[in-house]
Structure 1
Amino acid sequence: MQPTQRNTRAGNPTHTLPGLLARRAKDRPDQVALREKEFGIWQETTWAGFLDRVRSFALGLVELGVEQGDRIAIIGDNRPEWVIAELGAQSIGALPLGLYQDSISAELARMLEAADARLIVAEDQEQVDKVLEVRDRVPGLEYIVYYDPRGMYGYKAPGLMSFEAVEALGDRFGDRFPHEFDRRLVAIEPGDIALLCTTSGTTSVPKLAMLSHANLLAMAEQMVSVDPMEPGDEFVSFLPLAWIGEQMVGVASALLAGFTVNFPEETGTVRADIREIGPAFMMSPPRIWENMVSDVQVMAEDTTPLKRWMYRWAMREGVRAAEARFEGGD
């Protein structure tokens, strides 16, 4: 495909999410941006490597015919490929839509129809099966891209391809048009739509909400001003990336402050991975904290008297230290 002409307004690229990524890759190319645990080993991606993969995926989308304003859905667990797909879509003016990984087929079809999605990035066989089940209800859906190949051998469907295949398309496109990615990147304005999110659906079926780059970065600036984060700090991304709260911290704040985002190996290993990483900052809804406290209290009651005494002593001293820090003391 030939590169198309598009609006090249002179915006400030560092005031957009992919623009911030480009700046991080330039200023701190060798610093770790993303870390994913796979087969028990943490795999690291630097800021430069992060940008390279975003560039490859973005240009792969261009090669597939994705245009400015097209909607790109993403569904799956938290993985580097999620944010790579999101930022890749944003880099060319497409609109990413995050979907919850536990959505049933009917819910998935409704949101894909509402967004008129042209392409969906689905994590694995489970998510691909759900998409294939409802594909007839979404006539505009041309491509299904998966990034976990386990169980996908032998699958044949129009437009079904791997994440790596899209990146390879982008690499070849970039060889032919080496300046196309940068040209599209600088054309993105802070006021452009960066993300489509679903509402909670508490009063009716979920609806689509549009958030701009400026909106997301304004929230991130407020977050970082209240709880300062900086390069070298660690964050564990385990809440759904379809949720705006995780987007605000795990994507927007990470790009703004430059801290490292870690992705757990599996849902069941989240707590162990959190202990291993020792994040400088965590954000969760109250129910998550309540479950953690409940589990710890149960374990404390079931242990030996000595360990129970140590737990109570440590909690008492920890509360005292936390209150002193909140009050500005040492």
Structure 2
Amino acid sequence: MTSEAAVASEAAAPNQEELTLVEALLAQVRGRADMPSMYTRAGDRWVAITWGQFGAGARRLAAFLIGEGIKAGDHVAIWANNRAEWHTADAAILMVRGCPVPVYQTLSADQAQYVLNHSESRVVFVENEALLARVLEQRDQLRHLRRVVVMEGVENPSPDGFVVPWQQALSAGDEHLERHSPEIDERIAQTEMDDVVTLIYTSGTTGPPKAVMLTHRNIAASADGLADLVEVGPNDRVISYLPLAHIAERMVSEFRSYRYGNPTWFLDGLPNLGARLREVRPTHFFGVPRVWEKMAAQVNKQIDASPAPQRSLARWAIRTGRKVSDRRESGETIPAGLERRHRLADRLVLSKLRALLGFDDVRILASGAAPIDPEVLRFFRSIGLEICEVYGQSENTGVTTLNRPGRSRIGTVGEVFPGNEVRIAEDGEILVRGGVVFPGYLHNREATEATLVDGWLMTGDVGEFDNDGYLRITDRKKDLIITAGGKNISPGNIEGGLSTHQLVGHAVAIGDKRPYMTALLTLDPDEAPAVASQRGWPTELEKLAKHPALHEELQRHIDAVNAKLSHVEQVKRFTVLPKDFSPDEELTPTLKVKRKVVAEKYADQIQELYSKPQD
């Protein structure tokens, strides 16, 4: 292993003329006016919005914002699910040289109030009446907000004009468009690469969220680095489905389309993801680990439900694919007989599984935002799909390293991203420097100075490089568990193993300042009732969580996980919680566990795990 600095082998030179994001967008509007920029779902069909229509709508909203007194550098918030109006509002804000403030859909009224006040947002675009109600609940506390624009469900403005329907905002823009057009053009021309292009509020797992400022230059560095690694262009197909308040989705489905001209399809609800993937057949797709785990479980579930002959054939094909992928992973030669069997397995089964998932024309699949179980990656490899694990954070536009298609290495987060430098500090912390690194946090000089030291981003993650330059994350510095005996333990390794059981929704390892390790487990709300029904157990999660047969099953699984762990890492006791974690409470919007929230909310259950002498 090495702790020396690593630099990406590819040059960091941009692939195109240096353009601000709004200039790149307008180049697509001019050059691809009649080509589709977005697709939205209307009933049982997709409806296209052309680049010309997109640009015209954004310009109308830009005139409205100027009419509202929005000045260059002002903050305007967007609180909505992924939809065409989200992109339109975002583009309008950029056209007036404003700064978009994306708000996670799952935030409570109090949490949203913090974001709107901290950012000093003067206008907020909200999706519907439900989100409008959360804003109105906090209206007296929103010191800077002067207008709310509602995308759907509101036809008339409020008597005081505080609430404005989307269509009225567009109409107001029409009325003022001729007068404000010169100023819109002037603001676009004055936009600089070092202007802040968006705020990204961190998940706030350890306190109030911090507002990451990202610039046009940061976005360009990230987009150009991706183009160095994989083919990108106007014929790509991308589905927008993860929160646009997260930098990963923003880069994958919005910003890259402005740079390269490809259309974006907006998902009409997460339950429809499988069907829409088969319809769109994306060329690029990014998922958080939970998405990949659910997909793998669904494939296995369908195979198990097949008639015996088809089930046996499918399992043979996947075993054959696994043998091939394992040999490739270890660098071994594939025997001719195995190669022939693999071609047959691919023709009969594996190619059909890829088509079933909608990935029969994909060029890159990526996973990020949290660690993924290596066995999930190996399952997908066995059916011919290489998922490339990516590592980054909001503070460096989401990319520090990534596994490149065709040479990814399971168990690592890949090689250094083009244009980046990465080094390992003496205490093991990963440091990164490059064009993707943010200039700082809004209104938080102290946090900025603690995070950016001599141009290096202090990631807070601990890792090491292997001899080939692949980075391996070993833990979060702040997540390390130090037991009462002084042993440092990585909870990620334990939790990853515990979460592999189909009944387990989430696993949280407990043991900081404690004599031994324990775990909190939740049940998967989709899989657990189905399995319980087959076995004659209670199907209600609250009753199932107490069922002795379930505890015996989970204990066997924990015993198997413990066999792969050191003695101090082994889980001595566990408890099953009566309901799964949710993004409104114990999870961040990207499904990371809020450890502090869990520790406080389930303090009694944790204490009970240590209240009796160890067996």
TM-score (norm 2): 0.49
Q: Which residue of 1 aligns with 2:77?
A: 73
Q: How far, CA to CA, are the matches of 1:153 and 1:90 in structure 2?
A: 27
The structure richer in strand per residue is: 2
Larger CA deviation: 197-206 vs 48-57: 197-206
Q: Which residue of 1 aligns with 2:425?
A: none
Q: How far, CA to CA, are the matches of 1:313 and 1:161 in structure 2?
A: 60
Q: Which residue of 1 aligns with 2:189?
A: 186
CA distance 1:61–1:14, shift in 2 (3 Å):
farther
Q: Which residue of 2 aligns with 1:176?
A: 179
Q: How far, CA to CA, are the matches of 2:315 and 2:252 in structure 1?
A: 32
The structure richer in helix per residue is: 1
User: Given the alignment of the two structures, is residue 239 of structure 1 paired with residue 242 of structure 2, yes or no?
Assistant: yes
Q: For the Cα contact (< 8 Å) 1:195–1:210, is it kept in 2?
A: yes
CA distance 1:13–1:220, shift in 2 (3 Å):
closer
For the aligned residue pairs, the C-alpha RMSD in angstroms reads: 2.3
Q: Which residue of 2 aligns with 1:22?
A: 26
Q: How far, CA to CA, are the matches of 1:146 and 1:13 in structure 2?
A: 37
Any residues of structure 2 matched to 1:170-319 within 5 Å, and which?
A: 170-312=173-315, 315=318, 316=321, 317=346, 318=350, 319=382
Q: Deviations over 1:232-257 (max 9, x none)?
A: 21100000000011111112211112
Give the aligned length. Answer: 315
Gaps of 5+ in 2: 1-15, 322-345, 351-381, 387-404, 409-615
Q: Deviations over 1:129-186 (max 9, x none)?
A: 1111111111211101111126x66965641011221122112212234433222211
Q: How far, CA to CA, are the matches of 1:13 and 1:166 in structure 2?
A: 34
Q: Which amino acid in structure 2 is aligned with residue 143 of structure 1?
A: R
Q: How far, CA to CA, are the matches of 2:160 and 2:241 in structure 1?
A: 31
Q: Which has the higher contact order (CA 8 A, sep 6+)?
A: 1
CA shift at 1:272, angstroms?
1.4
Q: How far, CA to CA, are the matches of 2:383 and 2:145 in structure 1?
A: 56
Q: How far, CA to CA, are the matches of 1:175 and 1:13 in structure 2?
A: 30
Q: Which amino acid in structure 2 is aligned with residue 145 of structure 1?
A: V
Q: Which SS does the other structure have where 2:107 is aligned? A: coil
Q: How far, CA to CA, are the matches of 2:150 and 2:312 in structure 1?
A: 50
Larger CA deviation: 44-53 vs 262-271: 262-271
Q: For the Cα contact (< 8 Å) 1:217–1:252, is it kept in 2?
A: no
Q: For the Cα contact (< 8 Å) 2:73–2:97, is it kept in 1?
A: yes
CA shift at 1:88, angstroms?
0.8
Q: Which residue of 1 aligns with 2:399?
A: none
Gaps of 5+ in 1: 1-11
Larger CA deviation: 138-147 vs 198-207: 198-207
Larger CA deviation: 155-164 vs 132-141: 155-164
CA shift at 1:270, angstroms?
2.2
Q: Which residue of 1 aligns with 2:406?
A: 326
Q: For the Cα contact (< 8 Å) 1:221–1:256, is it kept in 2?
A: no
2:115 corresponds, among 111, 118, 123, to 111
Q: For the Cα contact (< 8 Å) 1:35–1:45, is it kept in 2?
A: yes
CA shift at 1:71, angstroms?
1.0
CA distance 1:52–1:13, shift in 2 (3 Å):
farther
Q: Which SS does the other structure have where 1:273 is aligned? A: helix
Q: For the Cα contact (< 8 Å) 1:72–1:94, is it kept in 2?
A: yes
Q: Which amino acid in structure 2 is aligned with residue 34 of structure 1?
A: M
CA distance 1:155–1:321, shift in 2 (3 Å):
same
